[in-house]
Amino acid sequence: MTAFNLRRLRLRSGDQFRDEVEVELDSLVLGGQEYVPTPALVPADLAVTKASSGTVLEMSFRVRLEGPCFRCLADTALELSIRAREYQALKPGDDEDLSSPYVEEDVVDLSSWARDALALELPEKILHDPDCAGLCPVCGKDLNLEPHTHEERHGDPRWAALDELRERL
């Protein structure tokens, strides 16, 4: 886990701190499949701005995520640029909007923040190609490599009476 201590900055209202930090990223599990950030330790630009009522935190980094395609399970790599912003009020009280879940006792959990920001930037489906045909639901072959169809299966004879009824309606 990568953490950053805000107390060591000693910023006054209006001051800003900028630096590059190394952030450790954990794998993500989506739909039972593991997606690994490469490399696991990414350089990130961190900016901390002290406001009169709190602190504004900004982080940006680039990451390559490797894992299987959602449709055909082929190896897939996704390049993402991440930009995230958080705000931590001096006295947030019970208002969740004024408090960052990544800041606790002036220590920022950069790894958790980066993981969540990465998860929010992911596409709905991770595909190796937007036109991926997927796997055949009958035989399981990769339809991108072997496009094919199967003859229509005949129904179970035990359901014949219901099929006959459906045809009449």
pLDDT of residue 27: 93
What's the whole-number mean pLDDT along residues 147-169? 83
pLDDT in tens, 20-50: 999 999 999 998 999 999 889 999 999 999 9
pLDDT in tens, 2-14: 999 988 888 888 8
Beta bridge partners of 108: 4, 103
| 49 neighbors 16 (Cβ within 8 angstroms) | yes
Query: Percent of the chain beyond pLDDT 70?
Result: 98
Nearest Cα to Cα of residue 140 among 62, 58, 72, 70: 72
Question: How open is the CA angle 56-60-66, to the nearest 5 degrees?
Answer: 140
Nearest Cα to Cα of residue 70 among 126, 16, 129: 126
Nearest Cα to Cα of residue 54 among 109, 19, 95: 95
Stated pTM of the model: 0.79
